[in-house]
Structure 1
Amino acid sequence: PEFQEGTLVISAVTAPGTGLQASTGIAQEIEGRLLEHPAVEATSRRTGRAELSAHAQGANASEIDVQVDLSEREMSEVTADVRARLSSIPGTNITIGQPIGHRIDHMLSGTRTDIALKIFGPDLYELRDLAGQVQGAIEGTPGLVDLSVARQADVPQLRLYPKRQEMAKYGVTPGHLNHAVEALVGGEAVSQVREGQLAFGLTVRLDSARRAGATSIRNVLIDTPTGPTVPVSRLATVQHERGPNTISREDVQRKIVVSANTSGRDVGSVVADLQRRIAEQVDLPENYYYEVGGQYENARQASRRIGWLSLVALLVVFLLLYQEFGSARAATLVLVNLPLALTGGVAALFLFLGGTLDIAAMVGFVTLFGIAVRNGILLVSHYITLLQEDKSLREAVLQGSMERLNPILMTALTAGLALIPLALGGGEPGKEIQTPLAIVTIGGLLTSTFLNMVVVPVLFDRFGDQEALRSASENHSLRD
């Protein structure tokens, strides 16, 4: 479930190569529109990040933290209003999220959105074209917002094409040539200068006139391993060209990302619609494919893991019950409580959570099944105890049900009453995960407790083998 953090993080990315002054102007326009909203209390902004930062970004990108007041409005309402106010900012990809959610998304997929459609392939320009097709195909999908493609553009570059034969004459390797030109043009730190308590790097490089362009760099002299000093033009062809501003890779494959958030719908159903639209409208060439990352992929993995572990746990519970009662029939009758609990949990899921089965709700089902199995054990174990006292099957069922009514009701009431505050606090920060868990558990407890006192006694009376159960229990007691 989406967090309710009380703070928004707005990412605004303009075209690559946008200068700091222009980018600052756009960011200030965004801040001005935000501060006009009655729920916005304050904003703070970062434009660009240092190259050595863990999250380096160019001057064309800004991040704006927005402190909001949720005393009179829901976060979903504020987010929708903010998104509408910023939709008319030209030439800017705007993504709206929250601080913790942004970081989680970034760790999951490398993007700061709920959904990351990663398109892989060998050619960058083909990838850009495919990303545009995918964007057009999925645009307008219900529940999809903040749709954008990773900003890429061709920017001026200075390229060196090595002359291999000439380089071999002077013993120059491509690495040596690259390092020499990089040190002369970009500079190389050779020492430090100290002023009081401060230390500054001492960087040596060519003066600005000698590194101004391709012509100047062609005439720069560099030392060679064989001794002579030769100009760069002797060893490589230097020319101005245009090339991609960035190349993204994952698992060695080149990629481009189409990112989006969701609003008003669960991620799973939105992704299903996206995949259908892409299959119908986009023809991916050979060696090109896409994957869906972000919260969707993480939720799928977690769901599969919980599913398999639940099956293993169910098997272990059955074996433990068989070990306890010495009868597969008794163990099966205890596990009848699971579908009884599932009925109420599913009903609560559709009535109060819109039918969205998220990880929190799945954990609620696991919790519910534990309580339901315990109630079944209380009944069946007491039935078997009464059978050992030479009660008839019908007498054991009637007496055992009445004697275990209070313990089972107390167990259900204790758990249900404790979960009510969590179930009612769905809109409060910090309870986003607890609320689905509580609602599913309470709904399942209602049906499980009621049906447990009706269905299990009837099934035990109908299918319980009095002599077999008594004998299995007595043999088990003797082995112990």
Structure 2
Amino acid sequence: SLIFSITLVPLLCYFLLRKGVSDKENVVVRACKRFYRPSLAWALSHRGLLIAGAIALLGGSLFTLSRLGSEFLPELNEGTMWVNIYFPPGISVNETKRLASKVREILHDSEVVRTVTSKAGRPEDGTDPKPINMAEVFVDLKPPDEWPANLTREKLIEQFGKKLDALPGIEPSFSQPIRDNVLESISQIDGQIVIKVFGPDGDVLQDQTQKVLQAISSVRGVGRAYIDRAGRVPQLQIEVDRAKCARYGLNIADIQDVIETALGGKQATEVWEGEKKFAVVVRLREDQRQMDNIKNILVDTPGRQRIPLDQLAAISVREGSMNISREFGNRVMAVGVFIEGRDMGSLVAEMQDRVNRQIKLPPGYYVTWGGEFENQQRAMKRLALIVPVSVLLIFALLFNAFGSAKNAALILLNVPFALIGGIFALQLTGINLSVSAAIGFIALFGQAVLNGVVMVSYFNQLRDEGMGTYDAVVNGALVRLRTVLMTGTLAMLGLLPMALSHGIGSETQKPLAVVIIGGLITATLLTLFVLPAVYLLFAEKEAHVTRRSESTEWVAST
């Protein structure tokens, strides 16, 4: 657009605007000027009151900003649903199939559902390692225009939740395919907020993580909180007695080979079918792998004796952890939190306060907060660096263009005042402050600076031509009224469809559009009224300083 504006646009103006172009103003511009002329005169005669009012509005908007909710990005409506189901730990494969079939029947019993597909455990390629008690269900929904008038996504999730509660022992959570993958890619845990507890001892870690879960579960806005893979499952534990093995000339590896072959299976040979090769694995039959028969497995010794396994090892069934996770060399357990009816920023702040007040972690144990919250903090830190750098670069460009730090600072005064409309627009529409909204504020800075450049440059031009400061401000503002209104109105109309859209993907676009439209409303008004008043105030102070300097020089010369 910059290249076209300095190359193609002048050429088109030369060919198209040479003849038949009226210099008269249209009805809209004349009506705006009839209103603007007396309003500007009042604003210039009450400069102090106007500037104080603008500062009060800015203070009120900053106070409102501190009360706004915050989040990383608004939740995107993908038009589908992804349900994570947690069955009881230690559940059998057949029982998982039966319950998964019931879950599919329940979810499919809705007029807005097309198809339901489920998966339990890990896939054959092993890319998503999950135990058999964790199932994922994909629900393909009809387009929103085919839904009943009073049915929303939130109500549909509530209906599904109530129906699934009829199945004992399951814990469902509702998400969306892309969002679920993004959440897992952030911290490998299913949850918008992930609280990780680190520590050396597994039992103490389990106890402390349970305390964290109890502390945050009652916080308003916590839709669901759970400990990731916290269940305990029955495990067959075989503890080899080294002393008994030594009496028969056996070592630990000999016993392990027998157990591996008998229970897990070991490759004995290969079978070829044409160009395909298949491994042949040998192991005991299923009925021989039962607890009562395992102890009777015979182990060959160097002395050609065959000793039952229970004479060489202690065999028992005990409970054990379903999952042992480590990060950075430390054991870790995680709490996944799903948000419901509250913004992320205030929810995390309250949860952190509760954990800090109610839980005293032993030495060597600590808590980290991650998930989408971690991404939000990282993004805001980057914006906290980018925004000041951007403002500094804008100031440098303005100083280079005007050759005056005063004019550059005067134009930059438009930037904080442009925030007023954007902040109040977020408050009125109930939209949280997110990365998308922050980008809208950055774009708004450019528009505010552009309006300031248009006004101040023309004020300076009229003064250089010999016009008085007051007349230059009034005439310059009236001439630039059409330009300022056109740039602001066109930008707002261009973003209006984005702000009013309800289609798939509109959730991430709406905060940006709302911020810019709301900010342009106040930025345009402040440019037309506050900027001329501040310019006139600066010019009067400059003239006063100049007169004092000249009088001082005259007294010194006499």
Q: Normalised by the size of structure 2, how large is the TM-score? A: 0.74
- Residue 451 of structure 2 is aligned to residue 375 of structure 1: yes
- Residue 167 of structure 2 is aligned to residue 81 of structure 1: no
Partner AA of 1:331 in structure 2: A
Are the structure 2 counterparts of residues 403 and 249 from structure 1 closer, same or farther at C-alpha, using a change threshold of 3 Å?
same
Deviations 1:201-243 (A, max 9, x none): 3335677799766645682569xxxxx999998xx85643533
**What is aligned with 2:206?**
128
Partner AA of 2:299 in structure 1: N
The DSSP-based 3-state class of the residue aligned with 1:268 is: helix
How many residues are aligned here? 460
Are the structure 2 counterparts of residues 179 and 105 from structure 1 closer, same or farther at C-alpha, using a change threshold of 3 Å?
farther
Task: Name which of structure 1's ranges 101-110 and 277-286 shifts more when overlaid on structure 2.
Answer: 277-286
**What is aligned with 1:422?**
498
The DSSP-based 3-state class of the residue aligned with 2:271 is: strand
Larger Rg, first or second structure (1 or 2): 2
Are the structure 2 counterparts of residues 387 and 283 from structure 1 closer, same or farther at C-alpha, using a change threshold of 3 Å?
same
Given that residues 11 and 95 in structure 1 are in contact (C-alpha distance below 8 angstroms), is that contact kept between their aligned partners in structure 2?
yes
- CA–CA distance in 1 between the matches of 2:307 and 2:450? 84
Unaligned runs of 5+ in 1: 223-227, 471-480
Tell which has more relative contact order, 1 or 2 (C-alpha 8 A, sep 6+). Answer: 2
Q: Equivalent of 2:469, from 374, 393, 402?
A: 393
Are the structure 2 counterparts of residues 4 and 50 from structure 1 closer, same or farther at C-alpha, using a change threshold of 3 Å?
closer
The DSSP-based 3-state class of the residue aligned with 1:453 is: helix
Q: Equivalent of 1:450, from 518, 521, 525?
A: 525
Q: How far is 1:183 from its partner?
A: 6.3
State how 1:37-76 maps to structure 2 within 5 Å. 37-50=110-123, 52-69=125-142, 70-71=144-145, 72=149, 73-76=151-154
Q: Equivalent of 1:352, from 401, 416, 429?
A: 429
Partner AA of 1:219 in structure 2: V
Q: Percent identity?
A: 31
- Residue 363 of structure 2 is aligned to residue 254 of structure 1: no
- CA–CA distance in 2 between the matches of 1:180 and 1:308? 62
**What is aligned with 1:343?**
420
Are the structure 2 counterparts of residues 156 and 206 from structure 1 closer, same or farther at C-alpha, using a change threshold of 3 Å?
same
Q: How far is 1:366 from its partner?
A: 1.0
The DSSP-based 3-state class of the residue aligned with 2:505 is: coil
State how 1:69-468 maps to structure 2 within 5 Å. 69=142, 70-71=144-145, 72=149, 73-150=151-228, 151-160=230-239, 163=242, 182=260, 186-189=264-267, 192-196=270-274, 198-203=276-281, 215=295, 219=299, 239-240=315-316, 242=318, 243-354=320-431, 356-425=432-501, 427-464=502-539
Deviations 1:75-95 (A, max 9, x none): 223223322332343222211
**What is aligned with 2:43?**
none
The DSSP-based 3-state class of the residue aligned with 2:334 is: strand
Q: How far is 1:10 from its partner?
A: 0.7
Are the structure 2 counterparts of residues 218 and 403 from structure 1 closer, same or farther at C-alpha, using a change threshold of 3 Å?
farther
Unaligned runs of 5+ in 2: 1-73, 547-558
- CA–CA distance in 1 between the matches of 2:466 and 2:542? 10
**What is aligned with 1:476?**
none
- CA–CA distance in 2 between the matches of 1:25 and 1:453? 70
Deviations 1:321-343 (A, max 9, x none): 11221211111111111122100
The DSSP-based 3-state class of the residue aligned with 1:404 is: helix
The DSSP-based 3-state class of the residue aligned with 2:132 is: strand
- CA–CA distance in 2 between the matches of 1:180 and 1:323? 82
Task: Name which of structure 1's ranges 84-93 and 405-414 shifts more when overlaid on structure 2.
Answer: 84-93
Given that residues 392 and 466 in structure 1 are in contact (C-alpha distance below 8 angstroms), is that contact kept between their aligned partners in structure 2?
no
Given that residues 51 and 57 in structure 1 are in contact (C-alpha distance below 8 angstroms), is that contact kept between their aligned partners in structure 2?
no
Task: Name which of structure 1's ranges 239-248 and 261-270 shifts more when overlaid on structure 2.
Answer: 239-248
Deviations 1:269-322 (A, max 9, x none): 222222223233333222222222111111111111112111111111112211
Q: How far is 1:41 from its partner?
A: 3.1
Given that residues 393 and 461 in structure 1 are in contact (C-alpha distance below 8 angstroms), is that contact kept between their aligned partners in structure 2?
yes
Deviations 1:96-129 (A, max 9, x none): 1000110010011212221212122122222222
- CA–CA distance in 2 between the matches of 1:203 and 1:306? 58
Are the structure 2 counterparts of residues 389 and 283 from structure 1 closer, same or farther at C-alpha, using a change threshold of 3 Å?
same
- CA–CA distance in 2 between the matches of 1:410 and 1:303? 33
- CA–CA distance in 1 between the matches of 2:81 and 2:170? 18
Are the structure 2 counterparts of residues 129 and 316 from structure 1 closer, same or farther at C-alpha, using a change threshold of 3 Å?
same
Q: Equivalent of 1:33, from 79, 82, 106?
A: 106
Given that residues 296 and 308 in structure 2 are in contact (C-alpha distance below 8 angstroms), is that contact kept between their aligned partners in structure 1?
no
Q: How far is 1:348 from its partner?
A: 0.2
